[in-house]
Structure 1
């Protein structure tokens, strides 16, 4: 009879894995202390240097173009017009962006810096933007010569406008003359600051240098008719000249004339807000460069209302009123010419032949 099974049962020794597991559970947790071996090879150093140079070359740096267009416009509108022109020369991208948004930039700059000057010096209206029914009346030769004196008595320092380019109603003619004058006034600021006399032109003389200067001033104004950035550039120079003139005349203790009150903070702000204060009105047009010596703040097209204590400006609808006046004049003159032609005695056939020959 075979013995019981437990007598023949032989137990095997425990496996090593189990023993290792028991030991690891009893010991403290292991800490990974592995680290990269220091590389001392020159070859490895060269490779690392090349890798760093390549990473630096491909790194994307933040630029102005990373900002939203609204923020870029806000930044540009805080600059002086002269600085905007300088910035447009940095690259083609900036130039194209500024040219595309020039109207919005100019309007914002005017509202912040030149809100008063823009009302004193409005732009003349281009003839192409005037009602076509008024073109014939505006270009009438009799009106050009007798009423506007465009070709008869031009100013020495103002080139007459091209009647085929701008409207020649009274409002636009005054606007043209005023803009040309302040461009010319800005040109001679260096002489006025240094106390050097401005060259005078004898009556009946037409020197080449003056012809070139007036043509240059006219080109600046004509450019401003199409480019609003040039318009605010003109206003910037006139504000600069006005501040310089007030400061220059203030130093003259013998000059007791009334003038605008301007502080150092007003001059440093580079805005025309101080011109809202009460001051001398600009009633006379500087028809000669001799007037520049005593000219301080030339601000036409406004008058001081003492009842409300503020300046009142020429209404924006004045141009339309003047055009309607010109149309009415042309219609009345056309009727007069018809009557004059009907009252003339009829010529005989022989007289007509003689007049033709």
Structure 2
């Protein structure tokens, strides 16, 4: 990656042709959850050369770099998503300053979606009010479970009821769109535990729920505990049963699936930033380890906050490396992403060589018959259970 951050002419020529957003990575956590392998750092892991206090200014430097690289043409920002880590470990005013810099340099599109993740224990009513007044429109809380023993296995710090309280406080602060993240098939979790977590999430009345099967990542504390025999490995059949429980309970409560792991009470409640990823949009990723994509060029930043800050202080791009996607790469990724959506994938756009596999998936009940008649491949509930394997067959 050039030190200037310069992009290939093909990427620059495509700027503005697709919806454009920003992802802002905040890499700080109070403690590391046992299952997490994200690019995050506790205070003891951070080392010299980087700090929470200076982070907003460093991130703003990259926003300005993005403006220089992408040129001065109109490029309204449709979505901003602040993730982590725990973004709300930064002062709410700092998060608002980063958003203001994006607006100043590029301009937020009318009705732009602006989201931040938050741990339930990392916000209070004053911080939520500052975020809402500063332009944030959506907030996503990491609830994970309503059972104390499950939270303990995941090394989560909040109490079981705190996420529900945080949703109420967000509503009182004026947030119309609120998400709760849940994790299922944690070792030691029962079906009743999972139903209780879903009941608690539904009772909190967010307009969006995300539910993910626990993945045991190499190098994590959880993986080490399983390897030592302290905890059992999550079972795929159990995970499938938990997914079915989630889909049934959420549907009964008025939540419709729109992506394999995401449900919303209305189209307005769907996460537009994630839809930008899933439908081939462009975005610039701010922060250590953040990934970006513009016009078929993908790049990723250096991982450590100190290296990231040092490069920007020297007016150099923090990007570590990049790849230019081929037409074949982009075609495969399009199938992988769009087939996970309720809108599905156009049948006419499948490569001729995979059409027999498409026909088999329909015969096996993995694709919706009615959607097929309209020219789209849309996953049935059973298809969603087998989505990863099915997508491999269709690419």
TM interval, shorter chain, is under 0.3
TM-score scaled to structure 1, two decimals?
Answer: 0.24
Q: Which structure has more helix as a fraction of its residues?
A: 1
**Which protein has the larger Cα radius of gyration, Structure 1 or Structure 2?**
1
Structure 1 or 2: more strand by fraction: 2
